[in-house]
């Protein structure tokens, strides 16, 4: 899927790491509510830019003139736990999150940035996303503060039901997972799991 070092995971687990110092404790996991969680990534397999828990226009207006946290639509729950060896384990699970997809502009080429990739469409106030719907999302990282006491396995996955502008129903799924102890000389890590699919139903 070539998600630019998986922006989705980076954003979601940055949220967890920001909460960790005050909420994680050895033993039972702690649950915290996150009011500013958003998720966005390019999916080059399907040729779409994905926005979750925020619309593209909301995000791009905010990034152009940020004031406070991003305007996320829903509060999500993160689970944090410290192991006996000092590693911080984080999980984030959410359901019924707003999701929208935009096809990449033909020019410029995609992967410049989430707003730049669809700038031509956003310039038209009447332009609408390719499809909108609701998504279920899961992310995990078993050593996101990089304690070095274990191999860091991390990733995310999700599924969504969407409706296109023409009324077509779509099912979307994606998955990304990797372990930082994968050693390769060239090419993608052998243990990398990365996939996505978008199909009409």
Coil, strand or helix at 151: coil
Percent of the chain surpassing pLDDT 70: 79
How many angstroms separate the Cα of 135 from the Cα of each of 2, 35, 41, 108, 176? 21, 17, 14, 28, 16
Q: What is the DSSP string of 43-87?
A: ETTTTEEEEESS-HHHHHHHHHS--SS---SS-EEEEEEE-TTS-
pTM over 0.85: no
Tens of pLDDT, residue by residue over 5-31, are 334 444 444 454 454 444 444 556 688
The full set of domain ranges for the chain reads: 7-200
Tens of pLDDT, residue by residue over 127-143, are 999 999 999 999 988 87
Coil, strand or helix at 90: strand
- Rounded CA gap, 169 and 198, in Å? 10
- Rounded CA gap, 59 and 11, in Å? 14
Q: What is the pLDDT along the chain (201 residues), one digit of tens a residue?
A: 444 333 444 444 445 445 444 444 455 668 888 888 999 999 989 999 999 999 999 999 999 999 899 999 999 988 888 777 777 788 899 999 999 999 999 876 678 899 999 999 999 999 999 999 999 999 988 876 666 777 778 889 999 999 999 999 999 999 988 887 776 666 666 688 889 999 999
- Rounded CA gap, 26 and 65, in Å? 40
């Amino acid at each position: 899927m070539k998600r630019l070092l998986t922006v989705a995971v980076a954003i979601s687990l940055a949220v967890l790491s920001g909460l960790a110092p005050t909420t994680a404790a050895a033993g039972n996991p702690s649950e915290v509510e996150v009011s500013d969680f958003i998720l966005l990534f390019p999916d080059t397999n399907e040729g779409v830019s994905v926005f979750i828990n925020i619309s593209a226009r909301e995000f791009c207006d905010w990034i152009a003139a940020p004031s406070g946290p991003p305007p996320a639509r829903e509060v999500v729950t993160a689970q944090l736990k410290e192991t006996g060896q000092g590693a911080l384990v984080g999980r984030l699970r959410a359901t019924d999150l707003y999701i929208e997809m935009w096809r990449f502009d033909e020019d410029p080429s995609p992967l410049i940035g989430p707003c730049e990739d669809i700038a031509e469409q956003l310039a038209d106030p009447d332009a609408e996303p390719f499809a909108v719907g609701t998504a279920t999302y899961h992310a995990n990282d078993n050593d996101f503060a990089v304690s070095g006491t274990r191999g860091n396995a991390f990733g995310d996955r999700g599924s969504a039901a969407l409706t296109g502008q023409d009324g077509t129903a779509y099912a979307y799924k994606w998955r990304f997972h990797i372990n930082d102890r994968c050693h390769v000389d060239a090419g993608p890590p052998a243990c990398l799991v990365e996939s996505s699919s978008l199909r009409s139903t």
